[in-house]
Structure 1
Amino acid sequence: MINPLAGLATARKDGAPYGITSICSAHPLVIQTAIRRAVADTDTTLLIEATCNQVNQFGGYTGMTPDLFIAFVREIAGKEGLDPRRIIFGGDHLGPNPWRNEPAARAMNKAEAMVTAYVWAGFSKIHLDASMGCAGEPAALDDETIATRAARLAKAAEKAARAAGSALPVYIIGTEVPAPGGVDHAISDLKPTQAAAARRTIEVHREIFAREGLAEAFGRVIAVVVQPGVEFGSQNVVAYRPEASTALTGLLDEEPSLVYEAHSTDYQSRAALAALVGNGFPILKVGPGLTFALREALYGLDLIASEMVADYGERSLARTMERVMLASPGHWHSHYHGSETSLYLQRHYSYSDRIRYYWSNPSAAVACGRLIEALNGVGIPETLMRQFLPMLPAELGPSGNPHSILHAAIGQVLADYDAACRGDGG
């Protein structure tokens, strides 16, 4: 089975670029929707990624280690009839970030163990990100230190792959994007990475990998993470402007074996996503945008149930989520700012979608289950669909299948990515 990651740079060089969507989510409905779409499109290879904070050797915020994450995805794939060989697993921002409040030596030891666990479990696309300073270090490290630490992590990955008898991984380097979890403020001015800085990142990594005996491994670096000029904050989205990244695109002519990986592409238009693919950013990462669409649909159904089901109550799900987030504010309190009203609105409706960290909470799971049960088999009039879920086809309502509505909401987002990866910006 051909790995589409391997052909991205060649396709661009040959004037026939294509893209691949990187799904960065651990929500079972998101994973299930993506897998169902892959089952329907037999030419699709799924790229599903986990971040260092989400999944690591200690469980991360999902409670899953790398092997458990792969087992979780493969279990859904098995139920949906998808050949697991059609799934590529990627590790995102793998480095010391989860332990950056500890001394560098200790944080890097843990990062090394994490990369080993990822590769041993079967992750074959590894983003090496050692850019963040640890305790007592500057927040932004110099290129040489970043590359030296990245090479150390690559050594661990190479050793793990050989010990597991698996294919040697491909690598992503660079990290000129916000740390995992996103930005915590409104964005007013966002400048793409300068081509000179990107060139420096590539050159320093190539030099230090060679020095550390990793020249062959550097030959498997397929992409560099840079800032193309796309981002979203809590309450706004910065749209892609192709003319602002012209110099970055030109740099790829000097490095024909590389492309760029675009992070934070959530909420971009289909046309913008297609432009990114065409301009050398064919790996399109999306996460919060998918769970944002899911939350929109859940809250729409919550309002519909409040109107239609006598004993459901008024906005039962939304009220439960507010209680859950207030009881455990760790995932949002340092990211959202402003008055009490502003904080409330951000908790529920922010583009940062930090509510996504709470869907696995037992109370949240019970509330979602109760909502689905309340509407299961209940035909929703088209008029209520138009009122509370206007972004979805009204004909979904009368079927009485709330799960189909949730899948459709997530699927609409993925449809834009699929079209952009095929070069369709319409």
Structure 2
Amino acid sequence: MQALLDLIARHRSGHAVGVTSICSAHPIVIEASLRHAQRTGQDLVLFEATCNQVNQDGGYTGMQPSDFVAFVHGIAQRVGFDAGRIALGGDHLGPNPWTSLDAAAAMDKADVMVAAYVAAGFRKIHLDCSMACAGDPVPLPEAEIVRRAVRLARASEAAWQQAGGEAPVYVIGTEVPVPGGATEAIEGLALTTPEAALATIQAHRTAFAEAGLEDAWQRVVASVVQPGVEFDHHSVIDYAPDKAVALSQAITTVPDMVFEAHSTDYQTRDALDALVRDHFAILKVGPGLTFALREALWALDAIEREWIPVQRQARLREVALQRLHDAPGHWRRYYHSEGAALAIDLNYSLSDRIRYYWPDTHIEQARQHLFDNLRGNPPPISLISQFLPHALHALRTGTATLDPQSLAMAHISAVLDDYHHACHDQDRS
């Protein structure tokens, strides 16, 4: 992770640079990210898998950590991207997938997961033990969160000593947003106070030292705080720099660390620029990219309805929504509406719970059928203009082709452009 350490050192020396942390396991998003990096000349691409996506039990993707590494590297090889420029991180690594168990059993599972991530080659490890397990008090006291995080750091260090290679770096923090966005409408958002942010860092520093992990503490590169950004199903709270001045300045008193901002999905370009300038130098994005993918797929479905004879249509959107109704397990606890309101949630929610369903066999077959239809009979640019204007721009400027996958990746790349601008284009050296 030397590239990430070097980037943070540059940020701390006064350069407004950062890194986009791409949290997605969809192959089109991964490929779009790599091709975007090729086009923009990025030295480092950071992909992260969450504890729910990827774990020793398979997660909702069916992948263990070693499978995810092979998956990403396989796409990189296919597109001609140097795997040495890819960094891999584990997000929210802790007992979150097993909170129905008591703390002892859930933390045993978390130990195994963290070790499996490190053994597979993940080197950016977010230690997140902020969630309560069965029988725990709610909220979980910070002292217990810290104790559990240190336990996982010990498991990570042991796995690294056995696996070799670059040493892992760590992200800490107890005020951690809900993975994937808020589950209910946002009724107000409290920023982390500077005092709380610094107290959390000090508590971890002390606990690492008491556990004999002083060397590992030197590789703690960031802390997660709430800078005042969040999204729920249909609204976004934008970053307000004037409200975060004190929090932003607090991290400047801590050597070699920056803040990591979660839930930056759907922030404006100006907001992302401001976050990086204000030392939130690691920008997490996940649902925002799969939301863009869903937008592109729905647009291609609309083009098919205009362009392909009805008897040959794949009807991807229709197939996908039927599968969501047939198997509601991945979205039922998030969406509580009914009727037309539920249809809006399933189609268009910013929390994008449809992302769990893309690997479904029926949906993937319909997607392939849709792409085959449009490859066999490419649509005119007038239809692309109507439904995919970002992709049309890429097509006209030579960074995309008429292939439907290329058009979808161009739409995703429009989101990545804003992150790239924030992380790379502000360097005034």
CA distance in 2, matches of 1:313, 1:348: 23
Change (3 A) 1:316 1:43: closer
User: Is residue 237 of structure 1 aligned with residue 236 of structure 2?
Assistant: yes
Structure 1 unaligned residues grouped into runs of 5+: none
1:247 corresponds to: 246
1:310 corresponds to: 309
AA paired with 1:205? Answer: H
CA distance in 2, matches of 1:112, 1:200: 25
Alignment of 1:154-173 (within 5 A): 154-173=153-172
Give the match's secondary structure for 1:247.
helix
Deviates more, 1:323-332 or 1:306-315: 306-315
Give the match's secondary structure for 1:172.
strand
Cα distance, 1:90 vs. partner?
0.1
User: Is residue 263 of structure 1 aligned with residue 262 of structure 2?
Assistant: yes
Give the match's secondary structure for 1:252.
helix
Give the match's secondary structure for 1:337.
coil
TM-score (norm 2): 0.95
Cα distance, 1:250 vs. partner?
1.2
Deviates more, 1:248-257 or 1:341-350: 248-257
Change (3 A) 1:81 1:103: same
1:388 corresponds to: 387
Question: 1:320-345 CA distances to partner (integer Å, 9 max, x unpaired)?
Answer: 01111011111111111223111111
CA distance in 2, matches of 1:343, 1:352: 13
CA contact (8 A) 1:377 1:399 kept: no
Give the match's secondary structure for 2:252.
coil
Cα distance, 1:85 vs. partner?
1.1
CA distance in 2, matches of 1:112, 1:181: 23
CA distance in 1, matches of 2:152, 2:194: 26
CA contact (8 A) 1:303 1:388 kept: yes
Aligned-residue CA RMSD (Å)? 1.8
Change (3 A) 1:410 1:43: closer
User: Is residue 366 of structure 1 aligned with residue 365 of structure 2?
Assistant: yes
Cα distance, 1:314 vs. partner?
7.1
Cα distance, 1:42 vs. partner?
3.9
CA contact (8 A) 2:394 2:410 kept: no
CA contact (8 A) 2:11 2:18 kept: no
Alignment of 1:8-19 (within 5 A): 8-19=7-18
TM-score (norm 1): 0.96
AA paired with 1:131? Answer: S
Cα distance, 1:81 vs. partner?
1.2
Give the match's secondary structure for 2:106.
helix
Alignment of 1:5-404 (within 5 A): 5-312=4-311, 316-393=315-392, 396=395, 400-404=402-406
CA contact (8 A) 1:53 1:180 kept: no
Deviates more, 1:147-156 or 1:135-144: 135-144
Count of aligned pairs: 424
Structure 2 unaligned residues grouped into runs of 5+: none
Question: 1:29-81 CA distances to partner (integer Å, 9 max, x unpaired)?
Answer: 01011112223344421100000000001110000000000000001111111
Deviates more, 1:372-381 or 1:61-70: 372-381
CA contact (8 A) 1:379 1:399 kept: no
Question: 1:107-156 CA distances to partner (integer Å, 9 max, x unpaired)?
Answer: 00000000000000000000001111110112321121111111110000
CA distance in 1, matches of 2:386, 2:11: 44
Give the match's secondary structure for 1:55.
coil
Change (3 A) 1:395 1:423: closer
